[in-house]
Amino acid sequence: MCGILGSWTQRPLEPGIRDDALSRILHRGPDDEGQFSDGGVFLGMRRLSVVDLETGRQPLFNEQRTCAVVMNGEIYNYRELAGSLRQAGHVLSTASDTEVAVHLYEDHGESFCESLNGMFALAIWDGDARRLVLARDRFGKKPLYYARTPDGGLVFASELKALRPLLEAAGGMWELRPQGIADYL
């Protein structure tokens, strides 16, 4: 079990806020922590190392380092996908199942998930297009919570308790709305 979180807001997150949010999902990944920031964009993760213990540290990037990915879960067909990506000319720097997602995104855009067989929640930041892509497997096996911020941004996390400091740092309020609960149920 791993955990991911992040934000895309008008202002960069303070390091203390990022660290607080990541500490709230420490139990999801005691083996490693990774962070990436690009202005108002932040991606973070806690990793339980299962696949590619040595070089699979996240976030992972495309060859030009213009796209970054963090993922919670496992892509079962990653070896097959990695072979196809290499044949297409991609240079994979790890044996990680996570890395195939960023290269598939480069080649197929937002439809990249159609090739993935597994259970996952992931975030890809495309710096060139200034686009944040959040995706989950078809059955939603891995959790991914998100909220809009007052400045029109977005925060997300694998657990609600990690979402709270990100939302509050962006000026959002942490409140339960009865209508929202009714809609959910």
Model pLDDT for residues 27-81, shown as the tens digit of each residue = 998 788 899 999 999 999 998 766 555 666 889 999 999 999 999 999 999 999 9
- pTM of the complete model: 0.91
Q: How many CB atoms lie within 10 A of CB 158?
A: 26
User: How many helical (H) and strand (E) elements, i.e. helices and strands, does the chain have?
Assistant: 5, 9
Type of residue numbered 128: D
Please list the ranges in the chain whose pLDDT falls under 50: none
Token pair in block for residue 61: 């990037």
Give the burial class of 9: count Cβ atoms within 10 A of its Cβ; 0-12 exposed, 13-18 middle, 19 or more buried. Answer: buried
Active site residues: 2
pLDDT for residue 36 = 96
> 164: which residues sit within 8 A by CB, 6+ positions away?
174
Chain centroid, CA 169 distance in Å: 19
How far apart are alpha carbons 83 and 66 in whole angstroms? 22
Collect contacts of 61-65 with beta carbons under 8 A, ≥24 apart: 61/102, 62/102, 62/103, 62/106, 63/90, 63/91
8 Å CB contact between 120 and 71 = yes
Q: How many CB atoms lie within 10 A of CB 81?
A: 22
Domains and CATH numbers, the chain: 3-184 (3.60.20.10)
Quick one: DSSP state of residue 34? Answer: E
